[in-house]
Amino acid sequence: MDSSQFLAQCVSQLLAWYPSHARDLPWRQDREPYHVWLSEIMLQQTRVEAVKGYYQRFLQALPDIDALARAPEEQLLKLWEGLGYYNRVRNLQKAAQQICTEYGGVFPDTYESIRKLSGIGPYTAGAIASICFEQPTPAVDGNVLRVMARLMDDHSCVDLPRVKQQFTDQLAAVYPAGKCGMLTQALMELGATVCVPKGAPGCAACPVSALCLARKRNTVGMLPVRAEKKQRRIEHRTVFVFLCGDTAAVRKRENRGLLAGLWEFPNLEHLCTPEEAIAWAEQMGVQPAALLQSQERTHIFTHIEWHMTCYYLRCMRPSPEFVWADCTALEKQYSLPTAFRLFLPDVLALLDETADKPKPEPPESGTV
C-alpha cells in the first residue's frame, strides 16, 4: 500500500471520529475568517485553556476587522497582556489594515492571498483557507508533525523544512472535497488530545491506532525525532518597585528588541545588592525611605531566561523620571508583560495598604 492509500484510510477514520470527539471551543462556533484567524494567532505557543478568556475579551472589545485595524496600540497591547510574543498582535493589526485597504475590509479567500498578510505563515494560512474556505491546504504544526511521524513511523527530523513540506504535500493529496476544514481540525484535535507530546499517548482512544505504523512497530515513544535544542541564555536583572503614596513607578520600554513598546517596572541588566539598589533609587530622584522587601523570580522566554531580584522601596518623591500609576491604572491601562506581572500581586497589596494615607506632593509631570 502506498502512502496515499494509507493516509486516505486514516483520513476516513478521522472524519468519522471528529464530530463526536471535538472539544466545544469558542472559535469553533462558526467559520468566520476573523474568528479563526484570531484564535490561530492566539494559540501559537499558548495553551487552549489560557486562550479562551483572551479570545472572548478581544472580540468583545474589537468585534470585527475594521475595529481591529483602527484600535489604539495601547488598547491592543492591554488586550494581549500576558499572552506574550507581542509582535503577534502588532502583526494582527497590520494585516487587518491590509485587509481594509487592499480588500475593502473583506477577508481574502485564497491561500496565496492569505499568506501575503502580515504575520501569517504557512500553518495559519492553511488553517484559515481550509476551515473557512474549504481549500485542500493542510495546517501542519507541531501536533500534526507528531501525528504524521507516528502514523507513518517516519524517523526523519521534523524540524527540517523539507520534512514538514513532505508531510504537507502528502496530506494535501488526500484532503477530501467539502470536508477540508473538518480534516484540518480533526488532525489538530488528535494531536492535542490523544497523540500528545508529553507522557504516554492515548493509543487506546485513537481512531487510527489500528493503522498506526509506529504502534505496530512499538516506536511511538521514539517519535517524533526533533533537533537538539540550544540552551537558553541566562540573564540576571534587578527590578525596582518604587512605591510613593498609592502609586508605583512604571516606564515604557524602547520600541525595539525584546518586549518592545510595553510597560515595565524600572530595572537594570545586572544584579544589585540592597545598598546598590538604594543608591540607584537615590540617583533616580525618588528619595527612598525604606526597603520593604525583596523577591527572586525567574521568567523563561524562548531563548532567554531572566533571573530577577526585585526590591520594593517606599519612596518620598514621585520623580518625573517615571510614570506613576495607581492600582486601577496598573490593572486596566498599562500593559505589563508576564515577566513584570510576577511582581504585581505584591505591588497591589502594598499600594492597597497605603491607599487611605496622605499622598506626597506630585511632580511637575509623569504622574497618572
b vs e for 20-51, b when ≥16 Cβ sit within 10 Å of the residue's Cβ?
eeeeeeebeeeeebbbbbbbbbbbbebeeeeb
Instruction: Count the Cβ atoms, other than its own, within 10 Å of residue 166.
Output: 18
Residue type for position 293: Q
d(CA 132, CA 258): 34
Residue 57 CB-half CA count within 13 A: 15
3-state per-residue secondary structure call for 229-251: CCCCEEEEEEEEEEEECCEEEEE
For this structure, is 40 an active site residue? yes
Cβ pair 297, 308 in contact under 8 A: yes
Using DSSP's 3-state secondary structure scheme, residue 225 falls into strand
Cβ pair 333, 78 in contact under 8 A: yes
Question: Per the structure block, which three cell numbers stand in for 211?
Answer: 493503522
**Where would I find the H helices in 194-305?**
213-216, 274-283
Of 32, 40, 269, 282, the catalytic one is 40
d(CA 268, CA 283): 13
d(CA 287, CA 128): 55
Cβ pair 339, 81 in contact under 8 A: no
Cβ pair 119, 94 in contact under 8 A: yes
d(CA 219, CA 155): 9
Between vectors from CA 249 to CA 260 and to CA 242, what angle results, nearest 5°? 125
Given the C-alpha cell 492535542, which residue does it identify?
A: 192
Cβ pair 95, 120 in contact under 8 A: yes
Q: Which residues are 288's β-sheet partners? A: 315
Question: Per the structure block, which three cell numbers stand in for 22?
Answer: 471535538
Active site residues: 40
